[in-house]
A and B are shown apart, each in its own frame.
Chain A
């Protein structure tokens, strides 16, 4: 392999051809694939943001998506729960199959999909409501928790269940100890790190199977980031976590497998985290990891 010192160019498939790339992104692992993605292409207008991505995400582990800014990691993540539908200029082709069920077809129940595949955003976005209401929001809207006036009058309310749910989720998100005595306070009054953990707790409240995280700690200070990283490790025991991060060290620390996206929306390499970081197949990935660009 020739050593190059120039920056890789954009848009073209690059120095790797299709077959090589397929070989580098074919990750064999034990166990079930929670989500299978096949030939996913995303266009924003004329901009080809994601090029033919195929990958299988193993269940109950942490999969990290890394790469320089603007190479399609977040776009890819948002395809997994169809949040890209919100963008009018977006056109999506390909197949995404959580549990083997295609979600890019007619008649898909988006409500059900997003119950199963939850999302935590880059900037914490708690609702301007109390901590308790933030967590109870999801189940309430799904009709699983009724604590309204009417239900209380008819003695059909689920207040006890709600309290149980709130405590469970806050404990799972490692936030209970800090806020258990002020559950009625407005969530906007919490610190940034606490707000993000609240968003994670909120995500857990609907009992998802997959948790998508879009750079969850990028807006936080190092201490809060460390807490989030510990949390992610715990979450992976029960949930399938897919996390986008621009912090390579973070990916190396917490993930089981890593997918590397490079400029132009290409998935260049995907495999076991240790192997990808210590001995990457692709030159470009090696350049990126060793900091030659990005």
Chain B
């Protein structure tokens, strides 16, 4: 790297380390306060108790006040010239509306609640106070406009909490017919959370020296926070289900030779060394442990049936659309139809299955109707992804094949389809993940028999039989109303208990069902994502 260089006051930033440090510290304090507020919201921290010797509410209030003062100081420091910064003449309308919103909320609530002016008064108060905040943000120079109104908000909120004007016992009855009230339990964490967010935003802008760079910093802080929250949310959600569901999943779990059930694998009778009753049993009076095996088997057959229906149809349609048809009215109509199918709500598919399929397949709920309904749901996804895959096969491949004198269909069969196969497979896997978790379509077409003994897991293959009257082929298993995992969970929620006395922990049973469903669905998604990644890497390396 280069050696000594002449410092310039313009091209290279003059680092005002003290102000930067203060701004960074402010952002840190807001982050900590944010976390504290989240903890308080979910009762991890008690509002009536104490933290480190101080009353929680007082502590929150004090920190908020401090934050507010610091934010105002950052703005003042820039305005009065103590800190180098590059503010714009105005903070802009976006910042103005952003600041006006919480102030309007505050003004409206105060007018309506504290001053007792009712809804009309509340609206007026909101508009007035919001308007003042808007003006106070956009008229002064940017460094004052982005800090003072928000700092003021923090100050007021902090003082209100610290001085006990709103204490842990505070409640605001909304006076509605269907009664509701806003309690301190809700207000204090949420108000802390939102004002802290604003404070962090203002401090980030100050850290960037206001102006375009400051706004850039402020925006990045918020965007990063959003992305982190989403990922954290996912983790917490999955972890929560896992933690709650594992005990139920593992009730009666045994490892050891001869511990598990006997199954026949390729004609040989094998005793599994592992016994997980939850996924290996059904519900029966004589069971030591109850399980959801019939539901798992039901989901399995549903997926197979749907795939058998949707994949040939979808790939065939995609082949026609990309290879044979010319862009025109017909393809447009098909595109509209495909998009329409794709966006149709799942419950409407269920209604359709109920109206169209059930009367034609045994006049009652059946596995077959469920399969076909889910197949219809899977179809648009297969068409769309197959089309995309085929379109991304370069024309050069087709041209090269045609130049060798190979017919169109042969080209499709030997060149296009194999090249498009990875994309199609990935699309199907992801689609299967989606439909495996769907409840609404099967609710109306298939679901029944929740608590089925495992001896009655539907045996599709073995039930095919020929009969003498039309339609000459029958399969009673396909016409049964069976259970599937999503429906199982739904029934457990709505029907409540009913599992019999063998289930020691009905709540745990429910969570375990949710966990098994999650595992099945997420496995499909994980496999789909991994295959897509793998195929993309392969494509890039060729």
Contacts and interface: CB of A to CB of B under 8 A. Distances in A.
A149 B93 contact: yes
Contacts of B12: 101-102, 105, 107-109
A108 B89 CA distance: 24
A102 B2 contact: yes
**Could you say which of B11, B13, B86 has the most chain A C-beta atoms within 10 Å of its C-beta?**
B11
Interface string B53-91: 000000000000000000000000000000000101110
Interface string B1-18: 111011110111101000
Contacts of A113: 11
A67 B88 CA distance: 44
A38 interface: yes
B398 interface: no
A146 interface: yes
Given A94-B2, A149-B93, A103 B11 contact: yes
B11 A109 contact: yes
A109 B212 CA distance: 12
A43 interface: no
B173 to A, nearest CB: 41
B452 to A, nearest CB: 55
B90 to A, nearest CB: 6
Interface string A134-146: 0000000111001
A141 B88 CA distance: 10
Interface string B462-488: 000000000000000000000000000
Contact of B13 (A94, A109, A141, A151): A109
A223 interface: no
Nearest to B7: A101
Interface string B114-146: 000000000000000000000000110000000
B140 to A, nearest CB: 12
**Could you say which of B89, B211, B213 has the most chain A C-beta atoms within 10 Å of its C-beta?**
B89
A182 B86 CA distance: 35
Interface string A212-228: 00000000000000000
A134 to B, nearest CB: 18
B93 A150 contact: yes
Nearest to A108: B12
Interface class of chain B by DSSP? loop
Nearest to B10: A112
Given A150-B92, A151-B90, 13 more contacts: A38-B2, A97-B2, A97-B5, A99-B8, A102-B5, A102-B12, A103-B11, A104-B2, A108-B12, A109-B10, A146-B89, A149-B93, A154-B139
Interface string A76-105: 000000000000000001110111111111
A293 to B, nearest CB: 30
A48 to B, nearest CB: 17
A163 B520 CA distance: 64
17 contacts: A39-B2, A94-B2, A95-B3, A95-B5, A97-B5, A100-B5, A102-B6, A102-B12, A104-B2, A105-B12, A109-B10, A109-B12, A141-B212, A143-B89, A143-B211, A148-B92, A150-B92
A109 B11 CA distance: 5
A156 interface: yes
A101 B6 contact: yes
B interface bracket (residues with beta carbon within 8 Å of A): 20 to 34
A111 interface: yes
A113 B92 CA distance: 25
Given A142-B212, A150-B92, A150-B93, A104 B1 contact: yes
A95 B2 contact: yes
A280 B399 CA distance: 48
A11 to B, nearest CB: 24
Nearest to A146: B89
Interface residues of A, number: 31
A94 B138 CA distance: 44
Interface string B210-221: 011100000000
B11 A101 contact: yes
Contacts of A150: 90, 92-93, 138
Contacts of A149: 93
Nearest to B90: A150
**Could you say which of A105, A109, A112, A154 has the most chain B C-beta atoms within 10 Å of its C-beta?**
A109
Given A103-B11, A143-B88, A146-B89, A111 B2 contact: no
Interface string A240-278: 000000000000000000000000000000000000000
A111 B212 contact: yes
B17 to A, nearest CB: 11
A143 B11 contact: no
A113 B13 CA distance: 11
A93 B1 contact: yes
Contacts of A142: 212
Interface in A153-181: 154, 156
Contacts of B13: 107-109
A111 B211 CA distance: 12
Nearest to B15: A107
Contacts of B3: 95
B93 A112 contact: no
A93 B11 CA distance: 19
Interface string B341-375: 00000000000000000000000000000000000
A101 B5 CA distance: 6
B220 to A, nearest CB: 15
B170 to A, nearest CB: 39
Contacts of B138: 150
B6 to A, nearest CB: 5
A240 B294 CA distance: 79
Contacts of A109: 10-13
B11 A112 contact: yes
Given A107-B13, A111-B213, A101 B8 contact: yes
A65 B70 CA distance: 53
Nearest to B3: A95
A28 to B, nearest CB: 23
Contacts of A98: 11
A14 to B, nearest CB: 26
B11 A108 contact: yes
Contacts of A108: 11-13
B283 to A, nearest CB: 56
A154 B141 CA distance: 13
Given A97-B5, A102-B5, A156 B213 contact: no
Interface string B200-227: 0000000000011100000000000000
A95 B86 CA distance: 28
Contacts of A143: 86, 88-89, 211-212
B84 to A, nearest CB: 11
A232 to B, nearest CB: 26
